Amino acid sequence: MQANSEFTQQASQYMMQAIALATENVTSGRGGPFGTVVVKDGKVIATGVNLVTASNDPTAHAEVMAIRNACQSLATFQLEGCDVYTSCEPCPMCLAAIYWSRCRAIYYGNTAADAAKVGFDDSFLYDEVKKPLSERRIPIVQMLPDEAWVSFAAWRDAATKVVY
């Protein structure tokens, strides 16, 4: 953890905006205490808050919503050169979403351990993702691998495709 003085005033403002979104999401009754801001070239291009219960979507975490909104805003599926300011360390879903989106850097406030203290599964999920498949809480089993490979062969052999 770096001391706050090491961050620019602008970076602190982005993080304070993410935190304010998180707090407002709770006080408004909309959802969980999570807010995210996506910044490109010194401008906030998108924000997101946790809408899991408000929208009946367990994937609607603040980071995922902010990435979706940023991509819609820029009409792209990749966010090169974008920085993510998020009020809590991304859970494994959101961390991987940030990787898939090709964002440049992640700044976070609360830790996954902090999230566990107020009832969220983030730390548990990091433990699960690290485990061999056979030891995970949700059973995960392979079937029909030869049949499934047909899909990948189709992709490999496709004459035209948009790689991502």
Both tokens of residue 76?
């792209």
Residues 102-131 binding its own copies (CB under 8 A) are 102-111, 114-115, 117-119, 121, 125-126, 128-130
**Is 132 a binder of its own copies (CB under 8 A)?**
no
Structural contact between residues 17 and 47, judged by C-beta atoms closer than 8 angstroms:
yes
Residue 2 backbone dihedrals phi, psi, to 5 degrees: -95, 155
Query: Which residue's CB is nearer to its own copies, number 41 or number 163?
Result: 163
Q: Is 51 helix (H, G, I), strand (E, B) or coil?
A: coil
In this structure, the dihedral spanned by the alpha carbons of residues 30, 56, 89 and 6, taken in order and rounded to 10 degrees, is -40
Catalytic residue among 6, 63, 80, 128: 63
Q: Binding residue for its own copies (CB under 8 A) from 10, 81, 113, 148?
A: 148
Structural contact between residues 98 and 70, judged by C-beta atoms closer than 8 angstroms:
no
Min dist CB 135 to its own copies, Å, is 14
Q: Binding residue for its own copies (CB under 8 A) from 9, 132, 135, 145?
A: 145
Residues 22-81 binding its own copies (CB under 8 A) are 22-23, 26-27, 29, 31-35, 52-53, 56-59, 64, 67-68, 71-72, 75-79
Task: Find, among 89, 84, 85, 86, the residue nearest to 113 by Cα.
Answer: 89
**Is 91 a binder of its own copies (CB under 8 A)?**
yes
Query: Which residue's CB is nearer to its own copies, number 11 or number 44?
Result: 11
Is 63 annotated as catalytic? yes
Distance CA 47, CA 49 (A): 7
* Active site positions, annotated: 63
